[in-house]
Structure 1
Amino acid sequence: MTKFSDLSLNPKVLKAVEEAGYETPTPIQAGAIPPALEGRDVLGIAQTGTGKTASFTLPMITALARGRARARMPRSLVLCPTRELAAQVAENFDIYAKYVKLTKALLIGGVSFKEQEALIDKGVDVLIATPGRLLDHFERGKLILNDVKIMVVDEADRMLDMGFIPDIERIFGLTPFTRQTLFFSATMAPEIERITNTFLSNPAKIEVARQSTTSDTITQKLVEFKPTRRDQTAKQKREMLRALIKEEGEGCTNAIIFCNRKVDVDIVAKSLKKHGLNAEPIHGDLDQSHRMRTLDGFRDGSIKYLVASDVAARGLDIPNVSHVFNYDVPGHAEDYVHRIGRTGRAGRKGTAIMIAVPADDKLLAAIESLTESTIPRAEAPWQPSASSARRDAADAKPDEEKPARRSRSRSRKSEDASAEEAPVQAEPRKPEARKSEPRGKSGGGRRGDRSDRGGKQVVGMGDHMPSFIALSFAERRGEAAEPAEAPQEAETYAEASDNGDSENAA
Structure 2
Amino acid sequence: MTSFASFDLPAPVVQHLSDTGITAPFPIQTATLPDTLSGRDVLGRGRTGSGKTLAFALPLVTRLAGRRRVSKRPSGLVLVPTRELANQVNAVVEPLATSLGLVTTTIFGGVNQTRQVNALRSGVDIVIACPGRLEDLLGQGVLSLEDVQITVLDEADHMADLGFLPGVKRIMDRTPRVGQRMLFSATLDNGVDVLVKRYLTNPLHHAVDSAESPVAAMTHHVLAVSGADDKKDIVQELASGTGRRVLFTRTKHQAKRLAKQLTTAGVPAVDLHGNLTQPARERNLAAFSSGAVRVLVATDIAARGIHVDDVELVVHVDPPAEHKAYLHRSGRTARAGSGGDVVTIMLPEQTGDMRTLTRQAKISAKPVSVRPGDKLISELVGERAQVVSAAQAAATVPSAPQQPQRAAGGGQRRGGRGRSTGSGQGPATSASAPQRTAGRGRAGQSSGRPQGGAGSRSVYSSSTGQAPVDSRGQAGGARAQGGRRPSRRATSTVRSV
TM-score in terms of structure 2 length: 0.72
1:148-167 superposed matches below 5 A: 148-167=148-167
Which among 264, 272, 281 is matched to residue 274 of structure 1? 264
1: distance between equivalents of 2:246 and 2:211?
24
In structure 1, the residue matched to 2:303 is 313
- Measured against aligned partners, the alpha-carbon deviations of 1:195-243 in whole angstroms (never above 9, x if no partner) come to 212221111111111331121111111112232xxxxx4x653333113
1:337 partner amino acid: L
CA contact (8 A) 1:48 1:315 kept: no
Superposed counterparts of 1:275-294, under 5 Å: 275-294=265-284
Give ranges in structure 1 of 5+ residues lacking alignment.
Answer: 228-232, 384-506
Secondary structure of the 2:102 match is coil
The CA distance in 1 between the partners of 2:76 and 2:253, in whole Å, is 38
CA distance in 2, matches of 1:378, 1:154: 38
Equivalent in the alignment of 1:264: 254
Distance in 2, matches of 1:377 and 1:2, equals 41
- Look up the SS of the partner of 1:219 in the other structure: strand
Listed as ranges, the matches of 1:36-435 within 5 Å are 36-227=36-227, 233=228, 237-246=231-240, 249-250=241-242, 253-382=243-372
Query: Distance between the aligned counterparts of 2:352 and 2:40, measured in 1?
Result: 42
After superposing the two structures, state which structure 1 stretch, 90-99 or 73-82, moved more: 90-99
Distance in 2 of aligned mates of 1:225 and 1:284: 29
Equivalent-residue separation in structure 2 for 1:149 and 1:362 (angstroms): 50
- For 1:238, give the aligned amino acid: K
| Alignment RMSD (CA, Å) | 1.9
Could you tell me whether the CA contact under 8 Å between 2:288 and 2:294 is conserved in 1?
A: yes
Question: 1: distance between equivalents of 2:127 and 2:197?
Answer: 25
Say if 1:155 and 1:314, in contact at 8 Å, map to a contact too: no
Contact 1:49 1:315 in 2 (8 A): no
| Residues 238 and 268, structure 1, Cα contact 8 Å, conserved in 2 | no
Q: Distance in 2 between matches of 1:361 and 1:196?
A: 39
Rg (Cα) greater in structure: 1
Q: Match for residue 17 of structure 2?
A: 17
How many percent of aligned residue pairs carry the same amino acid? 35
Aligned residue number for residue 426 of structure 2: none
Residues in 1 aligned to 2:5 and 2:66: alpha-carbon distance in whole angstroms: 20
Q: Which is richer in helix?
A: 1
CA apart distance, 1:137:
1.2
Residues 237 and 94 from structure 1, CA distance in 2 versus in 1: closer, same or farther, beyond 3 angstroms? same
Distance between the aligned counterparts of 1:367 and 1:202, measured in 2?
36
Displacement, 1:190?
4.6
Q: Within 1, Cα distance between the matches of 2:127 and 2:321?
A: 33
Please report how far the alpha carbon of residue 317 of structure 1 lies from its aligned counterpart in structure 2 after TM superposition: 1.9
Q: CA deviation at 1:362?
A: 4.7
Could you give the per-residue CA deviations for residues 31-87 of structure 1, whole angstroms, max 9, x where no partner exists? 111111111111111111111110000111101111122111111111111111110
- AA matched with 1:245: A
How has the CA–CA distance of structure 1 residues 170 and 226 changed in structure 2, closer, same or farther, with 3 Å as cutoff?
farther
Q: Please tell me whether the aligned partners of residues 41 and 181 of structure 1 are also in contact (alpha carbons under 8 angstroms).
A: yes
Give the distance between the partners of 1:144 and 1:238, measured in 2 at CA: 53
- TM-superposed deviation, 1:327: 1.0
1:301-359: CA deviation from partner (whole Å, max 9, x where unpaired): 01211111111111322121111111111112111111111111111111111112233
Residue 34 (structure 2) aligns with: 34
Is the CA contact (8 Å cut-off) linking 2:225 and 2:348 kept in structure 1? Answer: yes
Matched AA of 2:80:
C
Per the alignment, residue 490 of structure 1 pairs with none
Number of aligned residue pairs: 374
Distance 1:174 1:365, change over 3 A: farther
Secondary structure (helix, strand or coil) at the match of 1:120 reads helix
Q: Contact between 1:257 and 1:305, CA under 8 Å: does it hold in 2?
A: yes
Q: 1:289 to 1:360 in 2, by over 3 A?
A: same
- Residues in 1 aligned to 2:143 and 2:97: alpha-carbon distance in whole angstroms: 24
Separation of aligned partners in 1, 2:283 and 2:359: 38
Work out the CA distance in 2 between the residues paired with 1:274 and 1:265.
Answer: 14
Whether the 8 Å CA contact 2:239–2:267 is kept in 1: the answer is no
Q: CA–CA distance in 2 between the matches of 1:137 and 1:310?
A: 28
Give the Cα–Cα distance (whole angstroms) in 1 for the partners of residues 60 and 342 of structure 2. 34
For 1:368, the aligned partner's letter is T
Look up the SS of the partner of 1:106 in the other structure.
strand
Cα deviation, 1:15-38, whole Å, max 9, x if unaligned, reads: 111111011100001011111111
Work out the CA distance in 2 between the residues paired with 1:126 and 1:149: 10
Deviation sequence 1:408-432 (CA, Å, 0-9, x none): xxxxxxxxxxxxxxxxxxxxxxxxx
Letter in 2 for 1:139: G
Paired with 1:34 and 1:260, the residues of 2 have a C-alpha distance of: 42
The residue type paired with residue 108 of structure 1 is F
Instruction: Give the CA deviation at 1:163.
Output: 1.6
Structure 2 residue matching 1:87: 3-state secondary structure: helix
Q: Which has the higher contact order (CA 8 A, sep 6+)?
A: 2
